[in-house]
Amino acid sequence: MGLPEIIQTDRLVLRPFSPTDGPAVLAYSADPDWAEFQQTVSSTREEADGVVAQLVGREWESEPAWAITLSGRVVGVVNLVFSAEQRIALIGYGIHAEHRGVGLTEEAVRAVLGRAFSCYEQLVRVAANTDARNRRSTRLLERLGFTHEGTLRSGGVTAKGELVDGAIYGLLRSEWCAGAVE
């Protein structure tokens, strides 16, 4: 049993990306706040269409990627990359600036974590890597029960080409089961 393609929460529907999602991806990735902490940024429709093509072409069992939709409109992304036969996963996420600060990213990430831990009994750990300056992201991870495990000095490169410190976070199944409520 694998992860569902469609995940519904109180306010959101998470679904696989569609080839027609390029304009929505361009809308959120062209935002300067988004771009500040990303390694790559889509600044043209062609680049956004390329990102969408990569997301659509991913192998669902090992690299699922959901479009976060609100009222039918794509406003962000949540993705996982599994390794070691679904025992370890790396999670990534982001949302359009106009939807930040109202708990939508937390709602989407919480739903994906809940499904991942319930679908894969062998999943032991989920990791997240973020720009250490990105306080929104680090606070989100901490609210979700992740532990700051270290900082990789000059370990990341932004879309602008600057070297930045990377914050490494981890969440163990035992921690999720002890404190997380879907």
Rg of the chain (C-alpha set): 16
| Tens digits of residue pLDDT in 14-32 | 999 999 999 999 888 877 7
β-bridge mates for residue 74, sequence order: 69
- Domain spans in the chain, listed from the N-terminal domain onward: 7-129
pLDDT confidence of residue 42: 75
Tell me the two tokens of residue 164.
């930045």
pLDDT confidence of residue 35: 63
| Contact (CB, 8 A) for 48 and 105 | no
| Contact (CB, 8 A) for 28 and 59 | no
User: Can you give the pTM of this predicted structure?
Assistant: 0.92
Q: What are phi and psi of 43, to 5 degrees?
A: -110, -5
Q: Taking residues 8-17, report their average pLDDT.
A: 98
3-state helix, strand, coil in the chain (%, to 5): 35, 30, 30
pLDDT confidence of residue 40: 64
Specify the DSSP class assigned to residue 38: -
Dist. CA 12–CA 15, nearest whole Å:
10
pLDDT confidence of residue 29: 82
Tell me the two tokens of residue 150.
């270290």
CATH for the stretch 7-129: 3.40.630.30
| Tens digits of residue pLDDT in 54-68 | 999 999 999 999 999
Q: How confident is the model at residue 10 (pLDDT cuts 50, 70, 90)?
A: very high
- Give 136 or 32, the one with higher predicted confidence: 136
Instruction: Please give the mean pLDDT across all residues of the chain.
Output: 91
pLDDT confidence of residue 103: 96
The Cα-based distances of 99 to 28, 54, 111, 159 in angstroms read 10, 24, 17, 22
b/e map 19-40, b = 16+ CB within 10 Å? eebbebbbbbbebeebbebbee
Least confident of 7-11, 30-34, 46-50, 64-68: 30-34
Give the amino acid at 18.
S
pLDDT confidence of residue 1: 65
| Tens digits of residue pLDDT in 155-181 | 877 767 788 899 999 999 999 999 855
pLDDT confidence of residue 78: 97
Of 55, 52, 72, 66, give the one whose Cα is nearest residue 11.
72
